[in-house]
Amino acid sequence: MRPERLCLLDIVEAADAIARFLHGVDRSQFMDDELRQSAVLQKLIVIGEAVAHYEGARPA
């Protein structure tokens, strides 16, 4: 199991990457750019995996 700090770091880094990918891009541009969509989806998967492994996210 990864330390919680690393899970949180993965989440922040993935969110920062998404922000970079989408900076200055409107919805229409995003919808026409399959590569950008794939990049954002991959980072959302990273976030989901990190949340799933984060002990703090589990009910007590």
pLDDT tens per residue, range 5-24:
999 999 999 999 999 999 99
Q: What ranges do the domains of the chain cover?
A: 4-57
Give the C-alpha separation, 39 to 47, whole Å.
Answer: 13
Taking every pair of Cα atoms in the chain, the longest distance, rounded to a whole number of angstroms, is 43
Give the C-alpha separation, 36 to 29, whole Å.
Answer: 9
pLDDT tens per residue, range 43-60:
999 999 999 988 766 666
pTM of the model: 0.86
Q: Compute the Cα dihedral for 31, 35, 38, 43 and give only its sign.
A: negative
Concatenate the DSSP letters of all residues of 37-56 into one string: HHHHHHHHHHHHHHHHH-GG
